[in-house]
Amino acid sequence: MTDPVSRTILLLDIEEYSDRDDVEQAYLRRMLYTITDRVLESCGIDETLRLRADRGDSVMELIDAGASVTALLRALLAETPTELRAVNRMASQSAQIRLRAVLATGYVAVDELDGWVGADLNHACRLLDADVLRGALRERPDDFALCVSESVHHGIVQHGYRGIPKDAFHPVTVESKNGPLRAWLHGPTPRGVPRHTEVPGTREQEDRTATAPGPRTRTVPPAPLDLSNASFGGSYVAGDQHGVSGNGTVHGDVHLGGGGAAGTGDRE
């Protein structure tokens, strides 16, 4: 297996593919690849910059990290609906094609059997199959629903680049067997899905935790210091002390630095 390499992950899936007969499925597959190629080529991503995996009713693209994700997202938002309208305009009702899409980034390795391995890829696949994305496409009059990963939103969407309206993306939470996944849905969320669900450990929650005021504590003043028996650097002074800080007299035994020399009586 190769070492994991940073990639852009694009997934596209045909709605209600299994409900069609074989002839219709073959046609839908051709249209899926045609639309995908046109959208990618429109933003300068040709075949030399990507790997493709065929999943029957869906296509998976691993795109070179050097290709512009911003340009790709802009093309997905503008070109994909245009291509779908052009195809569906000339197709029968049974051959209409509607697509769900996920755009993510992450590290993916390719094994000796040309299989793709990576947790980021697994997360993207779970977003593609999520009920929230399926529901969004089902409720929309147009033929396209797009979801982007947290990394794509943080790196691109939230900055409001030209052609990428950040206010059109809404946070959603996708439940998976590995825990909740945070993602961003383009367009309105489907009925029954809250506009925002906080995922434990996300950047937003961590920022709030870092800036939240801590519990108020009561300051207790220190107790008075008792210097009747004091030890300084190993020296011990016993007895009466008079004017130690100046020219004074010390009565009693004096032991300095823990040494063996000791004096008795008065020292002036």
Tens-digit pLDDT string for the chain (268 aa): 778 999 999 999 999 998 899 999 999 999 999 999 999 999 999 999 999 998 888 999 999 999 999 999 999 999 999 999 999 998 988 899 999 999 999 999 988 777 898 999 999 999 999 999 999 999 998 899 999 999 999 999 999 999 999 999 999 999 887 789 999 999 999 886 655 544 444 444 444 444 444 444 455 555 555 545 544 444 444 444 444 444 444 445 544 444 444 444 444 4
* pTM > 0.75: yes or no: no
Q: Residue 177 domain-assigned?
A: yes
Q: Residue 112 domain-assigned?
A: yes
| Residue 129: per-residue pLDDT | 94
Contacts of residues 162-170 at CB distance under 8 Å and 24 or more positions apart, as own/partner, are: 162/74, 163/74, 163/77, 163/78, 164/70, 164/73, 164/74, 164/77, 170/195, 170/196
Q: Looking at the structure, do residues 156 and 239 belong to the same domain, yes or no? A: no
| Residue 229: per-residue pLDDT | 54
Q: Looking at the structure, do residues 88 and 172 belong to the same domain, yes or no? A: yes
Q: Looking at the structure, do residues 55 and 149 belong to the same domain, yes or no? A: yes
| Residue 54: per-residue pLDDT | 85
| Residue 207: per-residue pLDDT | 43
| Residue-range definition of the domain harbouring residue 56 | 5-202
Q: Residue 219 domain-assigned?
A: no
| Residue 111: per-residue pLDDT | 84
Q: Looking at the structure, do residues 240 and 133 belong to the same domain, yes or no? A: no
